Amino acid sequence: MKEIAAWALETAKLRGASLAEARIVDERNRSLGTKNGKIASASDAESLGIGIRVVADGAFGFSATDDLSRAGIESCAARAVEIAKASATVQSQALHMVPEPAAKADWTSPCKIDPFGISIEKHLELLFAIDEGLRKVKGVTMAETNMNFRRYEQWFFSTEGSEIHQTTVTSGAGYAAYSFQGAEIQKRSYPNSYGGQFQNRGYELIEELKLLDHATEIAEQAVALHSAQQCPEGKYDLILDSSQLALQIHESVGHPIELDRVLGMEANFAGTSFLTLDKLRTLQYGSEFVNIVADATESHGPGLGTFAYDDEGVAAQCTPIISNGLFTGYLTSRDTAAAIGAARSGGCLRAEGWSRLPIVRMTNVSILPGASPLTLEQLIASTDHGVLMETNRSWSIDDKRYNFQFGCEIGWEIVGGKRGRMLKNPSYSGITTEFWNAMDAICSRDQWTLWGTPNCGKGQPQQVMGTGHGAAPARFRGIAVGTAYKGN
């Protein structure tokens, strides 16, 4: 791989590049799914190629190829330089990249059981057992399961002297039970909606999720929701479970802190951002209980945003984003960091694969748990008039990431500190900063989970990236509840 990269870097320099980077990626993906006792999807694919990013005449250029012959590599590198020089002729502002020391490293994510060492038949055996368990419950109309694995091996070389080899194994699985009655559809998912739970770990994650053990309970809840009361409308104290809070973080914190959105360099899929540069270290984003970090380091946990180095060779870091409610940081890259006066990139530049240009992406954007011991049941016990909501069903947020509305799969009324009747179609809405300033409690570390979002879209052409979001159940006072499904 070093020889292949050398062809790219030497060609780029000879053609006039002042900086060149080569990322060689060997990727394997396995995706399996069932629907009502039949295989819904099954794929096992591999991909190998190189992406070359250069700076020439003060502008970026990028090109990629799966032709790893010397001729193919040299042609690709020359094309990247040609694109950079063409870009320089229409560049609106000077490119400045903050310095980063060269690194030489070899890193592998934790993996106790290689998922690719287990046969597809064995994977399907578990999925079919879950599928059958869901459909055994009377009233379940449709059952869906899925399991996904990825091995991503990357070699990064640069003309600045970096030589970085990283291997990441990702595992994920989940399922959903649907119940149709008349014009109403109710759904319950486990362990989370939109594919379940994902982490940078091996098959041991699948075993720890105990998927089959929860199938009956989840199916019974889907059916029971038809008989549940409609979520009331009004102002309530709102308790979100950790998975819903993770998505709330993703949409109302993670996307608006991407500095390329703030600077107007990116707007696809999620718009721009209300977090203009004047708000840094001046905006009270949330209450004193809100402490959020963007942490790519291994010590944070095996999240989908965990790595040793990003895709321009910057070491993984922990950046304080909201500190006791104060907005304190953005997600940055070497070319955007200078805009906020940072001496170093936050290490947030990543690409979906070898064929895509790295862009600013979320790492593990997580809310820190409370310092004092507090469980979900204790949080409920201290709430007089509220609603507990679990598992995302739908979301909507404006293109500045300011006004939002979320729907959940299931809720429970809280009266006098006790969990009461089940509620269907629960929803809530708010304004980002008002919402986070209404948070007055969060559960402790033993209630905290690092969730994985494997399908965050951004860019044109689209890149799908995995992000991590750690969260514990939390309470928000006086939130507008119950408007999304009014009249249902």
Percentage, residues of the chain above pLDDT 70: 99
**Number of residues that make up the chain:** 488
CA distances from 186 to 77, 220, 234, 251, 449 (A): 53, 11, 23, 24, 26
What are the domain boundaries of the chain? 2-227, 229-481
Q: Which residues of 83-111 are buried (b: 16+ CB within 10 A; e: fewer)?
A: bbbebbeeeeeebebbebeebeeeeebbb
- 3-class state of residue 207 by DSSP: helix
pLDDT at 485 over 80: no
> Which residues are CB-neighbours of 266 under 8 A, at least 6 positions away?
258, 260, 272, 359, 360, 458, 459
Query: What does each C-alpha distance from 337 to 57, 91, 309, 347, 366 come to in angstroms?
Result: 20, 18, 16, 10, 21
> Is this model's pTM higher than 0.75 or not?
yes
What's the pLDDT at 268? 86
For residue range 317-327, list pLDDT tens digits in order.
999 999 999 99
The answer to whether residue 454 scores a pLDDT higher than 90 is: yes
Q: What six digits make up the tokens of 144?
A: 């869906």
Mean pLDDT value of segment 191-220: 98
Identify the pLDDT of residue 77: 98
Q: What is the mean pLDDT of the chain?
A: 97
Query: Phi then psi for 75, rounded to 5 degrees?
Result: -65, -40
- Taking residues 407-418, report their average pLDDT: 98
CATH code for the structural domain at 2-227: 3.30.2290.10
pLDDT digits (tens, 9 = 90+) for 108-134: 999 999 999 999 999 999 999 999 999
Share of the chain above pLDDT 90, in %: 96
What's the pLDDT tens digit per position in 43-52?
999 999 999 9
Six-digit token string for 223? 């059916």
Q: Which two tokens stand for residue 139?
A: 């009233």
CA-CA distance, 261 to 43, in Å (whole number)? 34
pLDDT, tens only, 358-407: 999 999 999 999 999 999 999 999 999 999 999 999 999 999 999 999 99
